Amino acid sequence: MVYLTRKEHFNAAHKLTNPAWSEEKNKAVFGKCANANWHGHNYEIWVTVKGKPDPDTGFVVNAHQLSKLIKSEITDKVDHKNLNVDVDFMQGLLPSTENFVIEIWKILEAKVTGCELHCIKLAETDKIFVEYYGE
Amino acid sequence: MVYLTRKEHFNAAHKLTNPAWSEEKNKAVFGKCANANWHGHNYEIWVTVKGKPDPDTGFVVNAHQLSKLIKSEITDKVDHKNLNVDVDFMQGLLPSTENFVIEIWKILEAKVTGCELHCIKLAETDKIFVEYYGE
Amino acid sequence: MVYLTRKEHFNAAHKLTNPAWSEEKNKAVFGKCANANWHGHNYEIWVTVKGKPDPDTGFVVNAHQLSKLIKSEITDKVDHKNLNVDVDFMQGLLPSTENFVIEIWKILEAKVTGCELHCIKLAETDKIFVEYYGE
Amino acid sequence: MVYLTRKEHFNAAHKLTNPAWSEEKNKAVFGKCANANWHGHNYEIWVTVKGKPDPDTGFVVNAHQLSKLIKSEITDKVDHKNLNVDVDFMQGLLPSTENFVIEIWKILEAKVTGCELHCIKLAETDKIFVEYYGE
Amino acid sequence: MVYLTRKEHFNAAHKLTNPAWSEEKNKAVFGKCANANWHGHNYEIWVTVKGKPDPDTGFVVNAHQLSKLIKSEITDKVDHKNLNVDVDFMQGLLPSTENFVIEIWKILEAKVTGCELHCIKLAETDKIFVEYYGE
Amino acid sequence: MVYLTRKEHFNAAHKLTNPAWSEEKNKAVFGKCANANWHGHNYEIWVTVKGKPDPDTGFVVNAHQLSKLIKSEITDKVDHKNLNVDVDFMQGLLPSTENFVIEIWKILEAKVTGCELHCIKLAETDKIFVEYYGE
């Protein structure tokens, strides 16, 4: 079993506010992330799949194909977008990095073929990142 | 003359649209950066000053004081903000990285003491950055 | 279960010498790291916790609170210090990166609340790092 | 159990072509990587071992010795070489990153002493890397 | 005057051998870089232009257009290629990083419009890079 | 004229205290950097030379030779040392990054042959660096 990881990046805006809470409570819990007029990030995403190398190609997966899949399924839908407003699969969810990585997993797990999705790592800044293994 | 550089970072949202243009023209010129609902970045900023090292301290400038100056004058005002909406010194300007770096220069040049502001470098992503030397 | 990681950094001095050994043996085993007059590093630390995202916040942990905890419990005590001389929790231990990460784990495990400490990664240089999972 | 990782790097040329296939099929499957006249990479390799810190040294392994082992067994044999032509242990194999990491594992597992080889991570570019745990 | 830089990357193979010299002399001067069967690198290129921001766009240059220009004129011609064999504009030249950056300058200087080419920086590894300002 | 840069690194301990000042004044001016028991850094150094590429080699300078020169003249003398105590060329000087880069310049300028020393850049952390051009 070899694990192969492909990294991609995108830029997006978001804000963190729980609509069931007052502005004061949102500010107390989310701090600067609750700024009403949005803020944003350069996100980095690492998608890791696992499998046995194919004897004909030496590949667990064709990394170029994997890059195209991540692009068509995820980054084309979130790059230069507002996660709260523009992104279908985030509607009704707080766009924390945690919730975001779980939704990305659901989409990619159904689309990866010929190998198995192992982990998605998503970095909001160079100091904060999350990882999700599907359970 | 020794050049000392201090790096800081912040996150912000923005969009690029010229209010004198149609939506179509904005989209043609600015592409994804014209997305109506904002997008955002992790910005990195490098502030370079120059001077002779002080014989008593060995410093051109106290880098900790320079960091506090950048924080109070710039990053506190733009971190987790919307450059188009929330930031006083960007009002009436297109928030391109070019225009942004010039405004930051104007503010810091008036505040740096004991040495001379030499260059401000501002990176929007790890692939695009601008530099400004004050003229 | 989502894993969230927060990165912090600090600078410290140390040396590696076993007091039960001769200077020759220390030099043979520890090489340049045994230099009597100390040397130092910019350390990077990654603290990873795991848990289920809270439905009200989308957070496994508030990353800003986690940063404050790491700061008050660890980096305030070791930043710009000498690990052999100045740091209480390293007294009587060889300040190898391995021993250091185990002591940091013991402190943070008792202080993390609302989620579970999963891993601490500690880098001495960009070429050497250790990871500890608590057992 | 503490995990210690040492990073090294090297430069090499390779191409990906299955000799049982036509030039057209190779181009369709491997794309630019099938270029007949080779292309190359700056590879980064991370070797992770695990063990209990030795009470006399605080080390799982002497990282300087581990570096020398990686150098004598791997990087001296592949640095500034052609993986398809010059490297004995890659003969008869497609030099994909996946196949390459498995062969490196086989060599190092037999040579690491006093601790256990845990993982080898091998990056072809800053966007593609593989990991292998020996099974 | 604002300076804007766009970074791109590509992979290529090369070797350094002066055809007027013996194999021994080539080995003595170029060391491992003379390996007959090629070696390769992940190159990084930074293209810096300078100009006044356009009042209508805030741009010195549209960074997306600059990226496309670098791609069509340079990286499409060298990515996954052999600099000695496959690249027209390097024929008859030793493919040192120095000679390579000068040839890239000649091509891009003639193609950049609306602003002025200022500098090209080309990195062969993360430890060696060259810069050229056109004279 | 092409500029070539070679990067190296080393680790060292230091402290910043002006012997003519009281402990209180030192603490007020230098903060944590005045800690009596030392602290340390992973330093990165970039040495830039300029010249015309040699027609026989394509090189401004042989980067491997430049690396060996930096190693024998600088990093062998400061790596895993205490800048205040162990390093001859820093005696009698406050070991600020500014004073350090000037002394390194003096040593290397006298030793670089076949091209001209242009700049030395010295980073104390990833947030603070200095540059010196010899005047």
pLDDT at C118: 98
Best of B15, B38, B41, B44 to substitute, by most chain A Cβ atoms within 10 angstroms, is B38
| pLDDT tens digit sequence for B38-91 | 999 999 999 999 999 999 999 999 999 999 999 999 999 999 999 999 999 999
Residue B15 pLDDT grade (very low, low, confident, very high; cuts 50, 70, 90): very high
pLDDT-above-70 percentage for chain A: 100
Consecutive H or E run containing A131: strand A128-132
| Closest residue by Cα to residue A34 from A18, A50, A54 | A18
State residue F133's pLDDT score: 98
Residue B123 to chain F, least CA–CA distance (Å): 14
Q: Between D31, D127, D132, which is nearest A2 by CB?
A: D132
By C-alpha distance, the chain D residue nearest C16 is D57
Is there a contact between C83 and C16 (Cβ–Cβ < 8 Å)? no
The answer to whether chain B touches chain C by having 3 or more C-beta pairs less than 8 angstroms apart is no
Pairing of strands E39-51, F116-123: unpaired
Of B69, B131, B120, B66, whose CA–CA distance to F98 is shortest? B66
Q: Which pLDDT score, from 0 to 100, does residue B20 have?
A: 96
H-assigned helices in C44-109: 63-70, 76-78, 97-109
Listed residue (E124, E48, B118) closest to F131, CA to CA: B118
CB contact under 8 Å between D5 and C101, yes or no, is no
Q: What is the pLDDT of residue C5?
A: 98
Confidence of residue D86 (pLDDT cuts 50, 70, 90): very high
F126 to chain C, minimum CA–CA distance in Å? Answer: 9
Task: Give me the pLDDT at residue A63, please.
Answer: 96
* Interface contact flag, D29 A53, Cβ < 8 Å: no
pLDDT tens per residue across span C47-92 = 999 999 999 999 999 999 999 999 999 999 999 999 999 999 999 9
A121: which strand partners? A46, A131
Query: CB of A126 within 8 Å of any CB in chain D?
Result: no
Name which of D37, D3, D4, D33 is nearest D124 in CA terms.
D33
The question of whether C124 is a catalytic residue gets the answer: yes
Catalytic residue among F80, F98, F109, F131: F80
> Side chain identity at A14, as an amino acid letter?
H
Q: CA-to-CA distance for F3 and E131, rounded, in angstroms? A: 5
Mean pLDDT within A118-132: 98
Show which subunits contact F, needing at least 3 CB pairs below 8 angstroms.
B, C, E
CB–CB contact F62 E29 (8 Å): yes
d(CA C128, CA D46): 9
pLDDT at A102: 98
Q: Do A5 and D131 touch (CB under 8 A)?
A: yes
- The parts of chain F modelled with pLDDT lower than 50 are none
d(CA B97, CA B104) in angstroms, rounded, equals 10
Give the residue among F66, F58, F65 at the shortest CA–CA distance from E20.
F58
Residue of A92, A94, A85, A100 lying closest to A10 (CA atoms): A100
Spell out the residues 6+ positions from residue C131 whose beta carbon is closer than 8 angstroms to its own.
C101, C119, C120, C121, C122, D2, D3, D5, D48
How many domains is chain C partitioned into structurally?
Answer: 1
Kindly determine whether residue F57 and residue E30, on different chains, have CB atoms separated by under 8 Å.
yes
Residue among F6, F53, F62 minimizing CB distance to E127: F6
Q: Identify which of A18, A95, A132 has the shortest CB distance to residue C2.
A: A132
pLDDT of F60 reads 98
Q: Of B119, A53, E81, which Cα lies nearest the Cα of D34?
A: E81
Residue of B37, B86, B91 best to disrupt the A interface, most CBs of A under 10 A: B37
As a whole number, the mean pLDDT across chain E is: 97
Smallest Cα–Cα separation from A60: which of E47, C31, D100, F61? D100
Q: What is the mean pLDDT of residues A86-111?
A: 98
Alpha carbon distances (Å) from E116 to A116, B135, E1, E50, E98: 49, 16, 10, 5, 21
pLDDT for E25: 97
Please, where are the H alpha helices in D33-123? 63-70, 76-78, 97-109
Backbone angles phi, psi at F9, to 5 degrees: -145, 165
Cβ-nearest to E41 among D40, D81, D126:
D40
Structural domain of residue C21, as residue ranges?
2-132
Closest residue of chain A to B13, computed from CA coordinates: A39
* Residue C80 is a catalytic residue: yes
Q: Which of C39, C43, C2 is nearest to C17 (CA)?
A: C39
Interface membership of E86 toward D (CB under 8 Å): yes
E24-80 pLDDT, tens digit per residue, is 999 999 999 999 999 999 999 999 999 999 999 999 999 999 999 999 999 999 999
**Considering B39, B64, B80, B131, which one is annotated as catalytic?**
B80
Quick one: pLDDT at residue F6?
Answer: 98
Contact A16, C56 (CB under 8 A): no
**Which residue out of C9, C39, C64, C80 is catalytically annotated?**
C80
User: Could you give the CA distance from residue A55 to residue D94 in angstroms, rounded to a whole number?
Assistant: 9
With a threshold of 0.85, tell me whether the complex ipTM lies above it: yes
Count residue pairs from A and B with Cβ separation < 8 A. 75
- Look up the CATH number of the domain holding residue A72: 3.30.479.10
**pLDDT-based confidence at residue B37 (cuts at 50, 70, 90):** very high
Q: From CA E47, how far away is CA F7, in angstroms rounded?
A: 20
Q: Which residues contact B83 (CB under 8 A, 6 or more apart)?
A: B12, B13, B14, B90, B95, B100
- pLDDT of amino acid A99: 98
Q: Which of E123, E126, E112, E108 is nearest to E45 (CA)?
A: E123
Rounded distance, CA D14 to CA D83, Å?
5
Mean pLDDT of A94-117: 98
Interface-testing mutation among D38, D81, D100, D127, with chain E (most E C-beta atoms within 10 A)? D38
Q: What angle do CA D63, D66, D71 make, to 5 degrees?
A: 130
pLDDT bucket at D118, cuts 50 / 70 / 90: very high
Across-strand partners of D39? D14
Q: CA-CA distance, F23 to F95, in Å (whole number)?
A: 17
Q: What does the pLDDT look like over C2-44, one tens digit per residue?
A: 999 999 999 999 999 999 999 999 999 999 999 999 999 999 9
At residue D127 the predicted structure's pLDDT band, cuts being 50, 70 and 90, is: very high
DSSP designation for A33: G
Do strands A116-123 and A81-82 pair parallel, antiparallel, or not at all (unpaired)? unpaired
On average, the pLDDT of chain D sits at 97
Element (H, E) at F25: helix F23-30
Average pLDDT on A87-106 reads 98
